[in-house]
Amino acid sequence: MATAQISILLFMAVGVLSIYDSFRLPHALRPVHYELRILTHLNGPDQLRFEGQVQIDLRVLEQTSNITLHAKNLTIDQTQITLKSRTGNNCINRTEFDEEKEFFILQTCEWLQHDEQYELFIPFEGALNGNESGYYWSSFSDAQTNVTSYLAVTQFSPTFARFAFPCFDEPHLKATFNITLGYHKNYIGQSNTPISKCEEHAKLDNYVWCQHEPLFRTSTYLVAYAVHNLTSADIQSSDTDYNVTFASWMQPEVLEDSHFLANLAPRVLSYLEKLFKFSFPLRKVDQLAVPTHKFSAMENWGLVTYKQSKFTHNDNEELLESKQHKATTVGHEYAHQWFGNLVTMSWWNDLWLKEGPSTYFAYLTLDALMPDWSSAECYIADDLGMFFRQDATSTSIAISRDVDDAASTLKQFSEYVYKKGSLTLRMLHKLLGDDVFFAAIRSYVQRHAYSSVTQSDLWQAMQQAVDANSSIAQLGVAPVMDSWTKQAGYPLVSVMRDYATGSVSVNQMRFLLPGDVQAESANCWWIPLTFVVQREPNFAATQAQFWLDCRNSGNRNLTLLAKPSTREWIMLNPQVSTIYRVNYDAHNWRLIIETLNSTAHVGDIHVLNRAQLMDDIMALAWLNVQSYELAFSMLEYLPHEPHVVPWKRILDVLGKHGDLLRDEQTPLFRRFMQQLVAPLYKSCPALGATRTTSSTKMQEVSLCRLAYAQACRYGVENCISEALRLDRESVDANYRDIVYCASIERGDEQQFRLVRQAFQNATNEAVLESLATGLGCSRNFTLLQPFLDYLLRETDMTRNNCYMQVVASALQRKQVAQQTANHILQHAATLK
Amino acid at 74: L
Give the SS3 label for residue 107.
strand
**Exposure string for 615-653, b = 16+ CB within 10 A, e = fewer:** bbbbbbbbeeebeeeebebbbebbeebebbbbbbbbbbb
Which region, judged by CB under 6 A, interacts with ligand NAG, from 142-150, 294-302, 343-351, 392-400?
142-150
| DSSP designation for 734 | G
For ligand NAG, the binding residues in 587-616 under the rule CB under 6 A are 593, 597
Site for ligand NAG in 453-482 (CB under 6 A): none
Own/partner pairs, 464-468, CB within 8 angstroms, 24+ separation: 464/440, 465/432, 465/436, 465/437, 465/439, 465/440, 466/432, 466/436, 466/440, 468/439
Q: Which does 555 bind (CB under 5 to 8 A by kind): ligand NAG, Zn ion, none?
A: ligand NAG
Q: Least Å distance between CB 25 and Zn ion?
A: 24
| Count of residues touching Zn ion (by CB under 5 A) | 2
**Taking a C-beta distance cutoff of 8 angstroms, is the pair 263, 236 a contact?**
yes
Is residue 333 annotated as part of the catalytic site, yes or no?
yes
Angle at 747 between CA 745 and CA 749, to 5 degrees: 110
How big is the CA angle at 680 (ends 677 and 686), to the nearest 5 degrees? Answer: 110
Q: Which stretch binds Zn ion (CB under 5 A): 112-120, 349-357, 522-530, 625-633?
A: 349-357
- Beta carbon of residue 472, minimum distance to ligand NAG (angstroms, whole number): 26
Among Zn ion, ligand NAG, none, what binds residue 105 when CB lies within 5 to 8 Å by partner kind?
Answer: ligand NAG
- The answer to whether 552 contacts ligand NAG (rule: CB under 6 A) is yes
Q: Is 769 in contact with 808 (CB distance < 8 Å)?
A: no
Q: 3-state class of 383 per DSSP?
A: helix
Torsion of CA 124, 129, 135, 138, to 10 degrees: 140
Nearer to ligand NAG, 370 or 767 (CB): 767
Q: What is the SS3 assignment for 528?
A: strand
The pattern of x and - marking residues 351 through 380 that bind Zn ion according to CB under 5 A reads: ----x--x----------------------
Please check if 336 is assigned to a binding site: yes
Residue 786 binds ligand NAG (CB under 6 A): no
Among 28-36, 382-390, 418-426, 731-739, the segment contacting ligand NAG (CB under 6 A): 28-36
Q: Are 276 and 340 in contact, with CB atoms under 8 Å apart?
A: no
> In the complex, what is the shortest distance from the CB of residue 294 to ligand NAG, in angstroms, rounded to a whole number?
10
Span of 18-26, 350-358, 385-393, 747-755 interacting with Zn ion by CB under 5 A = 350-358
Nearer to ligand NAG, 108 or 734 (CB): 108
The distance of closest approach from Cβ of residue 157 to Zn ion in the complex, given in angstroms and rounded to an integer, is: 9
Decide if residue 178 touches ligand NAG (CB under 6 A): yes
Smallest distance, ligand NAG to C-beta of residue 557, A: 4
- 448-to-340, 378, 452 alpha-carbon distances in Å: 11, 32, 7
Annotated binding residue 355: yes
Among the listed residues 45, 200, 235, 252, the single contact to ligand NAG using CB under 6 A? 252
362 HSE (CA, 13 A, CB side): 32
Shortest distance (Å) from residue 444 CB to ligand NAG: 25
**Residue 586 C-beta: closest distance to ligand NAG, Å:** 13
Closest CA to 612 of 642, 667, 585, 652: 652
Q: Kindly state the greatest CA–CA separation across the chain.
A: 93
Segment near ligand NAG (CB under 6 A), from 164-172, 475-483, 529-537, 750-758?
A: 750-758
Of 78, 113, 229, 451, the one binding ligand NAG by CB under 6 A: 229
CA distance 373 to 367: 7
Closest distance of CB 640 from ligand NAG, Å: 8
Of 201, 793, 661, the residue nearest 785 (C-alpha): 793
Instruction: Please identify, using beta-carbon distances, which residue of 355 and 769 lies nearer to Zn ion.
Output: 355
Q: What single-letter DSSP state applies at residue 792?
A: H
Kindly tell me which of 152 and 704 has the beta carbon lying closer to ligand NAG: 152
Check binding of 149 to ligand NAG (CB under 6 A): yes
What are the φ and ψ backbone dihedral angles of 671, each rounded to 5 degrees? -65, -40
Residues 6+ apart with CB under 8 A from 698: 320, 321, 324, 372, 373, 374, 375, 378
Question: What secondary structure letter does DSSP report for 129?
Answer: B
- Minimum separation from the CB atom of position 711 to ligand NAG (A): 22
Q: Which residue, 662 or 832, is less far from ligand NAG as judged by CB?
A: 832
Picked from Zn ion, ligand NAG, none, the partner binding residue 33 (CB below 5 to 8 A depending on kind) is: ligand NAG
28 touches ligand NAG by CB under 6 A: yes
Segment 660 to 679, residues that bind ligand NAG, using CB under 6 A: none
Task: Closer to ligand NAG by CB, 35 or 516: give it.
Answer: 35
How many residues touch ligand NAG (CB under 6 A)? 51
59-67, 542-550, 730-738, 767-775 -> range binding ligand NAG (CB under 6 A) = 59-67
Integer Cα distance of 772 and 799 in angstroms: 9
Q: Catalytic one among 213, 299, 318, 333?
A: 333
Helix (H) or strand (E) holding 216: strand 215-218
Residue of 79, 89, 131, 696 that binds ligand NAG (CB under 6 A): 131
Nearer to ligand NAG, 149 or 314 (CB): 149
Q: Of 65-104, which residues contact ligand NAG (CB under 6 A)?
A: 65-66, 68, 73, 93
CB of 750 to ligand NAG, least distance (A): 9
Determine the Cα–Cα distance for residues 152 and 133; give it in Å rounded to an integer. 11
Taken as a whole, the chain contains a residue count of 832
Q: How many CB atoms lie within 10 A of CB 411?
A: 13
Question: In 404-522, which ranges are E strands?
Answer: 451-453, 491-497, 503-510
Tell me how far apart the alpha carbons of residues 388 and 758 are, in angstroms, rounded to a whole number: 39
> Do residues 91 and 109 make contact, with C-beta atoms less than 8 angstroms apart?
yes
Q: For residue 640, say whether it is annotated as part of any ligand binding site.
A: no
Per-position x/- string for 478-507, each x denoting binding to ligand NAG as judged by CB under 6 A, each - no binding: ---------------------------x--
Give the nearer residue to ligand NAG in terms of CB position, either 229 or 464. Answer: 229
Q: Which is nearer to ligand NAG, 18 or 451 (CB)?
A: 18
Sheet containing strand 503-510, edge to edge, reads 555-559, 503-510, 491-497, 581-584
Label the pairing between strands 29-42 and 175-184.
parallel
The yes or no reply on residue 56 touching ligand NAG (CB under 6 A) is no
**Positions marked active-site:** 333
Tell me which residues touch ligand NAG (CB under 6 A): 18-19, 26, 28, 33, 35, 64-66, 68, 73, 93, 105, 107-109, 126-127, 129-131, 146-147, 149, 178, 186, 196, 211, 214, 229, 231, 242-243, 252, 505, 552, 555-557, 593, 597, 633, 636, 749, 754, 757-758, 761, 780, 782-783
Tell me which residues touch Zn ion (CB under 5 A): 355, 358
